[in-house]
Each structure stands twice: as C-alpha cells, then as structure tokens.
Structure 1
Amino acid sequence: MPQRYDNYPRNAIVTGADSGIGKACAVALAEAGFDIGITWYEDSDGARRTAEEVRSAGRRCAVAELDLTRLPGAASVVDELADELGGLGVLVNNAGTGAASPFVDTTFEQWREVLSVDLDGPFLCGQRAARRMRDAGTGGRIVNITSVHEHAPKVGSAAYCAAKGGLGLLTKVMAQELAVHGITVNSVAPGEISTPMTGQEDTDPFTEDRPGIPVGRPGDAREIAAVVALLASPAAAYVTGASWIVDGGMMLMGPQGAARLESTAWRET
C-alpha cells in the first residue's frame, strides 16, 4: 500500500533569500509554521533583515552565505543548514542570476556563470536535499523557481533561457524519481515581478501599467511566495512534476501580443 508522507520536518531552506522572491518565500513559509534556513550572496544586510522577519513570525532562522559559482563544494550549505535546523522538509531553489547579451556575443564565461548558478546549483542543492529526505523516510517538498522563460524565449537571454528550460525538465525527472520516497518536486515560473532583479525593489506593482499583461501590472514577490507555500504544504501531496506559471496572464498573449507590435524594438537586447 502507498505510504502517507505528511510528517516531514517543518524546516525549510530557501536559497537567495536576502531579497525579492526568496525573501518573500522565507517569510511566507515562516508564517505557515516552518523554521527557516536562508542563504545569501553579496547582501548580508538583506539576509539579516529576512532573518528578523522570520523570527518576528515566531520561527527559528539559520543563515549562511552561498556562492553558486563555487561548485560543487558550495552545495554543502544545504546539509549545514539542515543540521542546524534539526532536519529538512522543504527546499526552495530560488537563488539565480541572468545576463543580457546577444547570443553571438555571449562569452563562454558569461554562459558558464549563468548555467552554474541557475542550473548546476539547483541540481546539486536538490541532490543534497533529496538524499536527506529519502534517508529520513519522511518525504518532503522541493520547489524550483524558474521563470516564464522556462517555457518561452527572450532575446538577449540565451544562457538564462537555457538554464531555466533545463531546470524545468530536471524538475520533471526529479518528480518521477523521487515520488516513491514521498518527495514532490515542482517548479514555479514567475513573470515580471517587482524585485531588485527587475530594478523594482521598492515599487508597488499596482502603480505600474503593463498593457501587454492581462491583469495590467507586474506581480508582487508575495504572490509568488503564496504559490510556493501551497506547494510546500502537506495539502499539495498529489501535485508533482508541474510548472506553476505565475505571470498575470503574460504567457497567454503570444499571438495577440505579436499582432499588436508596431516596431522591431523587440529584437534589441
């Protein structure tokens, strides 16, 4: 008979949680009753502020630096944080980077940095988490933050799109293989979200007009975090191998959006 896996440790690790989507996920999971491990890169003050919000929600928070260009060794942070928390039930692979460069001008160094952070990192961190969850025998949740560019290309983002597309398919293979251990694996694919990565760290998305997006505005990082919190919960035990597009309807606009373009500016990086 299939086994129930709803007693996994209420401990979650969120990579890249010093700002933006990662910070929102850490806080949302804390509010859902998880103790949190967070990683940061470059912004130690941001990590400190995230930790303060987690603790204000009444949960414990462990903090560690993570540089995903220093692999494979850097992925050991998953085990270090899990040991400090006393177990691991949820991993959110959020840390990421990007590069804006035409395909023909993208250097191998740029290519490798983006692939290392956006694909190699989640692969290695996911392995570490899955092994711990499997060996504990209590199941768990892995959520990979991808992008709408898991599914659709963008001019000037060859490395980013390749990494996110690869992570999307890796998510499905992980879901197939890990389901027998009670571990679900899903991706969340944000559209335009008001975060530091999009140059909108302090922007209220409801003050921004986006005619090409059906809901008419960018998203808020907390709207991504709400989906992540659902997928991290015991209630989502029957959801695995799915890509949750959270984009205000942006991906629906392909043919209609193309028909409304009045210039070739889209070809520019």
Structure 2
Amino acid sequence: MTGQFPKTALITGAAKRIGRALSLDLARQGYDIALHCNSSKSDAETLAAEIRDLGRRACVVSADLTNEEDTHRLVADAVKQLGPIGVLINNASTFEFDDVGSATRDSWDLHMETNLRAPFVLSQQFARHLPDDCKGAILNLIDQRVWNLTPHFMTYTLSKAGLWTLTQTLSLALAPKIRVNAIGPGPALPSSRQTQEDFDAQCAKTPLKIGTNPQEICDAVRFFLAAPAITGQMLALDGGQHLDWAPSGEEDKPVE
C-alpha cells in the first residue's frame, strides 16, 4: 500500500443516478465502497448488496450534508467500517432554481452547505485520516457552467464556482500526497424539472449536439485516478456546452 491509494472509495450521494454508476464502476475496478446517503437509505442498502455480489466490501454511511456534525463524522464512520479511504468523490449536490430576485438566505445556505461547505469539511477529514505512507485522490463533481457563467440558478452556480476554486486551492494545499481534480458535466441525465423532450433539446444545443452520460463520467474518474501527474484540473464533459456556442436568443434556450 505504501505510496499508493488504499483501494477504498467514499462516494457522497451514492445511492442514485451518477453516484450509483460511479459506485458500481469503481467496485468493478476492485475498490471497496463506502456509500453515503441521506434520505435514500433503502436504495443505498440495495446498492451495497450489489457491490458485495461483485466480491467487494461495501458499507452505507448516512449523513445530512447540511448538518456540520453529520458531515464531520462521515469519513471516520467510513474508515471504521472499511479501513483507510484512498479516494473521496464529492458527488452529492443540491440543484434548485433561484435567481437574483428570488434567492433567499435559505436557498443560499441550502446550496452552500451541500455543494461547498460539505466537500471542504470532507476533504479536511479525508486528509487527516489518510495514512502517512499512502497517496490519495479527491474528485469533485462540479458543473460546466462554472466556465460559462449565467445569471440562472444563482446560488447553485455560486456554490459550484466556489467548489471549482476549492479544487484548485486544495490541489496546492494537499500536494504532493493528495491529488484534487474535478469533472464538470453538462447534461447527463434529465433533472426533476425536465421532460425527456426538454433534456434532448438541451443536449441538441451543444456544439457536438450531445450531452454526456454516467458511463462517460465513470471513465473520466478512472482516467484521473490513473494519471499521477494531474492535479487542480477540471474536465468538462458537456458536448462543448461550456464554450457558449449555442444560439443565444431567449426562444432557443433550453429549460436548464
């Protein structure tokens, strides 16, 4: 294990959607998985059973990431059950609409706590619990929009822009022991506000006329884990959406 990752990953928001795909993919690569969930414990337990069927260890660790005490103990809970954690994936995210007129202190706190404060606290705890003779990696799931700022989804965008800054500053603060990188997806799965038609229209507005998908995000995670010379980077998986190439007329804008 000396100088290498412990092959155990803690993934936040692991029970569904992209988090579920990441958990299964890393398990197939030989990782044991600590599955974080909040309200989706039944889904997380089902996923843990699937991972065990693949021959890997898995545990479920519950925490409300808007609660400082819950967040602070999450890494220790995972280490207690699975041993040293070598990979932290900050995948959990809150994505609610507000704008400059409708944003409130509550919407600010909701996005900042889950999308920025929690990844910072978890990264601190991850670094503190990583054995002295081991390397580690942190991967933050951000959003291509931090390279293509708009006034929409105001406090969400601010929280993700902060997470991109955190990725870069942590990559310096934790080097050379821990590498810190990010993935900035564009449209990957329909949101709760979108129909499939809305989602398809959003993908069609990118330069490549496609979005991304969970497997492509899994492939990017594998790449970052296998690339020892990369830190402080974000890979935008977005069909070129961050280039803001799409027509800008209001009637052309997708829902998200």
TM-score (norm 2): 0.90
What is aligned with 1:87? 84
1:198 Cα deviation (Å)? 6.3
Does residue 1:159 correspond to 2:150, yes or no?
no
Q: Of the candidates 239, 242, 250, which is equivalent to residue 263 of structure 1?
A: 250
What is aligned with 1:168? 164
| Alpha carbons of structure 1 residues 110 and 191: separation in structure 2 relative to 1, 3 Å | same
What is aligned with 1:54? 51
1:124 Cα deviation (Å)? 0.3
Q: Of the candidates 96, 100, 114, which is equivalent to residue 97 of structure 2?
A: 100
| One-letter identity of the residue aligned with 2:181 | N
Matched residue SS, 1:194: coil
For residues 49 and 191 of structure 2, the distance between their equivalents in structure 1, rounded to whole angstroms, comes to: 19
Deviations 1:208-240 (A, max 9, x none): 4532123323321121121112223xx311110
For residues 35 and 209 of structure 2, the distance between their equivalents in structure 1, rounded to whole angstroms, comes to: 32
Q: Of the candidates 168, 183, 200, which is equivalent to residue 188 of structure 1?
A: 183
Deviations 1:81-105 (A, max 9, x none): 1221011100001111022122121
How do residues 135-150 of structure 1 correspond to structure 2 at under 5 angstroms? 135-150=131-146
CA RMSD, aligned part only? 2.5
1:196 Cα deviation (Å)? 5.3
| One-letter identity of the residue aligned with 2:68 | L
Give percent identity, aligned residues only.
Answer: 28
How do residues 206-221 of structure 1 correspond to structure 2 at under 5 angstroms? 208=200, 210-221=203-214
Does the CA-based 8 Å contact 2:139-2:221 persist in structure 1? yes
For residues 195 and 36 of structure 1, the distance between their equivalents in structure 2, rounded to whole angstroms, comes to: 26
Does residue 1:248 correspond to 2:244, yes or no?
no
What is aligned with 2:42? 45
How many residue pairs were aligned?
A: 254
For residues 63 and 266 of structure 1, the distance between their equivalents in structure 2, rounded to whole angstroms, comes to: 40
| One-letter identity of the residue aligned with 1:156 | H
Does the CA-based 8 Å contact 1:150-1:167 persist in structure 2? no
Does the CA-based 8 Å contact 2:8-2:84 persist in structure 1? yes
Does the CA-based 8 Å contact 1:218-1:248 persist in structure 2? yes
Matched residue SS, 2:59: strand
For residues 140 and 126 of structure 2, the distance between their equivalents in structure 1, rounded to whole angstroms, comes to: 12
How do residues 2-81 of structure 1 correspond to structure 2 at under 5 angstroms? 5=3, 7-81=4-78
TM-score (norm 1): 0.86
Does the CA-based 8 Å contact 2:9-2:86 persist in structure 1? yes
| One-letter identity of the residue aligned with 2:240 | G
Structure 2 residue ranges without an equivalent (≥5):
none
1:199 Cα deviation (Å)? 4.8
1:50 Cα deviation (Å)? 2.2
